[in-house]
Amino acid sequence: MIIDPYFDPDYSQVPYTFNFMPATTTYLDTPVIPVAAFVGYPNRALDVEPADGTPVIFSVNGPEGGPIVCTDGGTITITSVSSKLVPNPDYVPDDPCNPELITRDFGFGTEEG
């Protein structure tokens, strides 16, 4: 499989059906429509990821394997997302020192509880 390097999911991909008939002219208007709030450079994409240092839950597990405790004194384990690569909201393609992805910490901090 070859991945298109110019593919941008922020633009629409609409399948059109047209009548193709002999001896007729069909005027096709197939616009490419942005479907995101701010599409393309220099109008960087919106930063929709949580801020660095925001705790984000990855999973919750109890004694039965799910996020439920049915007995007194039962314990659940809450796991954070920890560090995650997210799109850099300040990414500029012309700057080689500016990474496309940055790491944000979505952990619960250093203290266990």
42-84 pLDDT, tens per residue?
556 677 889 999 999 999 998 888 888 888 888 888 999 999 9
What's the rounded Cα separation, in Å, for the pair 70 and 63?
9
More confident site: 12 or 22 = 22
pLDDT for 72 equals 86
Q: Which residue has the higher pLDDT, 41 or 64?
A: 64
| Per-residue pLDDT, 44 | 62
Q: C-alpha distances in angstroms, 76 versus 64, 65, 109?
A: 10, 9, 18
Looking at the domain assignment, is residue 27 inside a domain?
no
- Judge whether residue 104 has pLDDT over 90: yes
In this structure, is residue 75 part of a structural domain? yes
In a domain, 4, yes or no: no
Picking from 1, 33, 14, 10, the residue whose alpha carbon sits closest to that of residue 87 is 10
Q: What residues make up the domain containing 100? A: 57-106
Q: What is the mean pLDDT of residues 5-23?
A: 74
**Domain assignment present for 90:** yes
Distance CA 90, CA 83 (A): 19
The residue type found at 5 is P
pLDDT at 15 over 80: no
In angstroms, the CA 24 to CA 35 distance is 33
How many domains, in total, are found in the chain? Answer: 1
Distance (Å, whole) CA 9 – CA 45: 12
